[in-house]
Amino acid sequence: MNHSILIVDDEQTLRWSLGEALKDSYRVIEAEDGPGGLQRIAEEEPDLVLLDGRLPGLSGIEVLEQARAAGYDGQVIMMTAYGEAENALRAGQLGAFDYVTKPFTLEKLKQRVENALEAGRLRRANAHWEETQKRGDPFTGFIGRSPRMEELFEKIRKIGASQASTVLIQGESGAGKELVARAIHRATAGASGPVVEINCAAIPETLLESELFGHEKGAFTDAKSRKKGLIEAAAGGTLFLDEIGEMGLQLQARLLRVLENRTFRRVGGIEDLQVKARIVAATNKDLMEEASAGRFRSDLYFRLGVIVLEVPPLRERTEDIGPLANFFIARFNRELGKSVAPVDEHVLALLEGYGWPGNIRELKNLIERVLLLEGDGALKPAHLPAAIRQGQQGGEAAGVRRAESGPFRPEPISAVELRHIERTLEHTGGNKSRAAQLLGISRQTLREKLKQKDVPSAAAKSAGASG
């Protein structure tokens, strides 16, 4: 459905010109004076009002004041004459999105209209997001509805409705594993306790044990009183163990007993206490590979991995890059007092063509940095890092395109296959299970093919020859 635009101006020629320029893309409504403009706003509730500053009956500012007082929250662009800076300032205080000074070009106005309507859409989306947060919507904080994410949401709903006591979340750094853990908690029917989070990589092993299990008075030198641990604090809710792959082997053994028996003891204690929380663990490592290397207990991996959720990296959900970028623009506009417009198609194409090794966290940091360093207006390609402007995907697809676009060099099939495997491993950050899945082969087959690298790989030779 087309957006509706109300043009309020007493100059018939200008109304006609604007209407002709906009009618192919929008439903255009007109009013020739202030009272008429107020009436059309009340009747039509247009998405956008192009409002002249000087009108018969009521001034543009008076129309805007009364419309806001009556509850109109659509976008407004003021059309002012040169030298009416005071009116423009007052309009901004009343929530006008923008103003243009007469005379202006139609192209300039059309761009302002597009920016205003997109900003309105983002504002409504943010309002919906905040409302769902108040209601405890399971997917609060998630932006985008790509097929990969919808599939993930459906799995989260099923877990929330189940009696699953443990869940393992796998995904790259910055992909949103913490949000998934919180969504599982919110989707859990009857959850009465909190989400209690701890990063296993951020706390020393000795302190981590006390934090998780608590301790009795006198359990160690500084234990001057009994302290409940995070397992107890999460009763009725969810205990989220982030970076589980960084936990030491000794503590892994204690955690395994917790998962098997659903009981635990405080450090220095003799009483068995019931575990009354769902335990959700997350990692960016290949735990099977870590187990093979002796850094992670295989029995703990299998106990944790009864239900495994894979969080897709951003490069595999490119449909969500635009909504995410615009969400962060709107957020940092509010926080930094900026008025940067949503991304246009040129910037979006560059963002979608990049590999995002840091995933959503990298995109968020980029938008924040650009808004901090640049002025208001539009996000331009020149504001982006060279890697994004040059279309460096950091993954398999970009490498394939570079190979196809270069001069033909005959090579054995085995060399091409090995290079493809190496690119896929780079794409997955070294995760062999994920690489095998993408390649359509078993992990055992992948291991056998990688044994060919006992001698310098064909890919390395080719790179040396071409360098």
Residue 46, both tokens = 């247009």
Average pLDDT over all residues of the chain: 83
Q: pLDDT band for 358, please (50, 70, 90 cuts).
A: very high
pLDDT at 205 over 80: yes
pLDDT of residue 461: 37
Report d(CA 358, CA 366) in Å as an integer: 11
At residue 441, does pLDDT exceed 50?
Answer: yes
> What is the DSSP secondary-structure string of 273-316?
EE--SEEEEEESS-HHHHHHTTSS-HHHHHHHTTSEEEPPPGGG
CA distances from 278 to 64, 176, 234 (A): 53, 19, 8
> Cα 381 to chain center, whole Å?
21
Are 243 and 200 spatial neighbours (Cβ–Cβ below 8 Å)? Answer: yes
pLDDT of res. 241? 96
* Structure-block tokens of residue 157: 């709903």
First to last CA, the chain: 55
pLDDT of residue 135: 46
**Where are the alpha helices (H) located in 262-409, listed in sequence order?**
287-292, 298-304, 321-336, 345-352, 359-373, 386-389, 396-405
Residues of the chain with pLDDT > 90, as a percent, come to 46
Q: Which two tokens stand for residue 338?
A: 């900026």
Q: What is the pLDDT of residue 376?
A: 74
Task: Give the pLDDT score at 130.
Answer: 59
Contact 324, 365 (CB under 8 A): no
**Of 317, 389, 380, which Cα lies nearest the Cα of 149?**
317
Whether pLDDT at 128 is above 70: no
For the chain, list the domains and their CATH numbers: 4-129 (3.40.50.2300), 147-310 (3.40.50.300), 319-373 (1.10.8.60), 396-466 (1.10.10.60)
pLDDT at 224: 80
Q: Which pLDDT belongs to residue 294?
A: 94
Which is higher by pLDDT, 395 or 204? 204
Alpha-carbon distance of 456 to 445, in angstroms, equals 20
**The pLDDT of residue 299 is above 70:** yes
* pLDDT tens, position by position, 312-330: 999 999 999 999 999 999 9
In this predicted structure, what is the pLDDT of residue 396?
39
| Dihedral pair phi/psi, residue 458, rounded to 5° | -60, -35
Closest by CA to 166, choosing from 227, 250, 247, 231, is 231
Measured CA angle at 248 (ends 246, 254), to 5 deg? 120
pLDDT of residue 467: 40
CB distance 24 to 115 below 8 Å: no
The pLDDT tens digits for 99-125 are 888 888 899 899 999 989 988 887 776
| DSSP 8-state assignment for residue 140 | T
pLDDT at 213: 93
**pLDDT single digits (tens) 95-105:** 888 888 888 88
pLDDT of residue 452: 66
